[in-house]
Amino acid sequence: MSVASVAPVAGAVLLGALAGLVAVPFGRHVVGVPPDEGPVGGVGSGGTVPGDGNRGRAPRRAGDRAGASTRAYASPRRGSVTVTGAVVFGGLAVTHGAEPALPVLLLVAAAGLVLAVTDLIALRLPDPLVGAVALGGLGLVGTATVTGEPGRAATALAGAGLSLCGYVLLALLPRARLGFGDVKLAAALGFPLGWLGWPTLRLGLLLPHVLAGTAVLALLAAGRVRRDTPLPFGPAILAGAWLAAVLT
- Distance, CA of 178 to CA of 79 (rounded, Å): 29
Residues 103-116 pLDDT 10s: 999 999 999 999 99
Residues 194-215 pLDDT 10s: 999 999 999 999 999 999 999 9
For residue 61, what is the DSSP state?
Answer: B
Question: What was the pLDDT predicted at 187?
Answer: 98
78-96 vs 234-247: helix crossing angle, rounded to 10: 30
For the chain, list residues with pLDDT below 50: 3, 39-72
- Distance, CA of 172 to CA of 183 (rounded, Å): 11
Q: What's the N-to-C CA distance of the chain in angstroms?
A: 21
pTM for the structure as a whole: 0.85
The answer to whether 21 and 76 are in contact (CB under 8 A) is: no
One-letter amino acid for residue 32 of the chain:
G
- Distance, CA of 34 to CA of 63 (rounded, Å): 17
For residue 229, what is the DSSP state?
Answer: -
What is the Cα 48 distance to its own chain's centre? 22
What's the number of CA atoms in the CB half-sphere (13 Å) around residue 14? 6
